[in-house]
Structure 1
């Protein structure tokens, strides 16, 4: 038989009773400020009538167990989506919800019941444990087949799974909608960029044509220069052959150099003036 101290100290005992989430509403109505099946840290603190810091410290000490039973820490895009979808603007801007937060801890009913089995100094938590123990004792005294309890637990877990899947489907649907909107905006931007890209492509084509024409002209110039170089080489060879032929002719006629004075024209004596 479970007792209050056993629930406070034994994790396995808490795990065995964590599915009995109906006892929460039997003791006190659990209000969710998010409008969904997830309570914030402040919601849990209000339910158990304790400061939020108490719930935060408890969540830090028993993070693994509470996470296993349905506590989630939202960050980044998940936090932004949760705040946008679940919290109204007035609540977000109020003193209970800071405008800029890096994370947000939320609890489902199973996690809230686990908190009730961990809080020592909360009157509401003590009432929940008492009601939970009474319900468990009553269930033990009834002649119920063990399979019925297993089916009931499986049914409750199935309900919780369905609620989780429904929330996930809504989140997925919103993400797909945002993706479709982004795709439409991207199409508009691409259509606007189409004419600009067309003009840039035409200019690049003209530059390519100019570069190709320049290459052709350069190739022709190189061919002309090569031809001129070859022609000059041939002329040099012809000049060497002419010099050799000239030397051969001079040797054949035994030609000697002509003195410079013989090359000057004769001077005719001046004629006398007529009287």
Structure 2
């Protein structure tokens, strides 16, 4: 088992587990501001049981890494807007900053946990992270290769796809709503929702297995369906996939003056999401150029400071575009990954 202190020294290891923000609430409940997404420096200090000055010094030493993972400092009109729209909802409940306010996303708080040496809570978070990573790497993997599966004795026992639709469009959204409004039982609800989503994934897999045995080609069917969509329909399709994977407050902008952001929303654990959609199936282009990636990365990271930036395309990405995505933290979803996502595989970045 790897010692928890290794996270203090290895940025690559820290980057590999930054999506596991659920660990924070498993160790200790993290109180959020009324926007449901951020905490202040004082709230970070209270969570880890350290002084505000310790957090400020940590932010100064690791400024670049923390800002890449969701730390933002509001000033001027941005601060005034945040105070009016968020802090004013609870007058007296939160301090009213005068000149600036530093906010931490849940991802940034997890980043702090992996950098903060002198905090028992931070050490517990690091240990929990590495324990979960160890379990995920050593757990036996279910062999789902269709070629190694025997044909079912009776194809009349096929899975009814309506069950999957009920789970994805009714049960999971119900859990999302309960999670958003619950406090005391939030952790248990998240675990129950994950169980339901595991059932949904297995049902989708069984349906694809039977389709393959009967001579259908699910990937071709999915790709043909997406190719027939207008750009508006494609954006709505991606929005539905986000909701299926547990995202809340999903909004499709469907406007051309959006600075490259087509869809916004929040993950179940409160991270902000921005999505750029490109349906290039009928445009005659084989890849997404670097200019498109630069525009979206600038809007998502420099302007809106979102936690999860997704670029979803019906084609592949050019080498230059992928390099920009990797440097700016944009998660790319290419043609093959989109096919799998559409067919029922849940997107790792949203977990």
2:33 and 2:49 map into 1 onto residues whose CA distance is 15
- Higher relative contact order structure (alpha carbons within 8 Å, sequence separation ≥ 6): 1
Bigger helix fraction = 1
Q: Which has the larger radius of gyration?
A: 1
1:99 and 1:90 map into 2 onto residues whose CA distance is 14
Corresponding residue to 1:118 among 115, 119, 134? 115
**1:6-61 deviation line (CA, Å, top 9, x unaligned):** 10011111111111101001001000133421111111111111111111111111
Q: Does 1:162 align with 2:159?
A: no
Partner of 1:59: 59
**1:221-271 deviation line (CA, Å, top 9, x unaligned):** xxxxxxxxxxxxxxxxxxxxxxxxxxxxxxxxxxxxxxxxxxxxxxxxxxx
On the 8 A contact 2:34/2:89 being kept in 1, the answer is no
Partner of 1:199: none
Bigger strand fraction = 2
Q: Does 1:141 align with 2:138?
A: yes
Corresponding residue to 2:101 among 90, 94, 104? 104
Cα 1:139–1:89, aligned 2, differ >3 Å: closer, same or farther? closer
Runs of 4+ in 1 over 4 A off after TM superposition: 157-161
1:107 and 1:34 map into 2 onto residues whose CA distance is 13
1:28 and 1:158 map into 2 onto residues whose CA distance is 22
TM-score calculated relative to the size of structure 1: 0.51
Root mean square deviation of aligned Cα: 3.4
Aligned length: 160
On the 8 A contact 2:8/2:117 being kept in 1, the answer is yes
On the 8 A contact 1:33/1:43 being kept in 2, the answer is no
On the 8 A contact 2:41/2:52 being kept in 1, the answer is yes
TM-score calculated relative to the size of structure 2: 0.41
Q: CA deviation at 1:84?
A: 1.2
Correspondence list, 1:254-265, <5 A: none
1:34 and 1:82 map into 2 onto residues whose CA distance is 11
Runs of 5+ unmatched residues, structure 2: 145-240, 249-263, 267-271, 275-298, 305-351
2:81 and 2:246 map into 1 onto residues whose CA distance is 25
Partner of 2:194: none
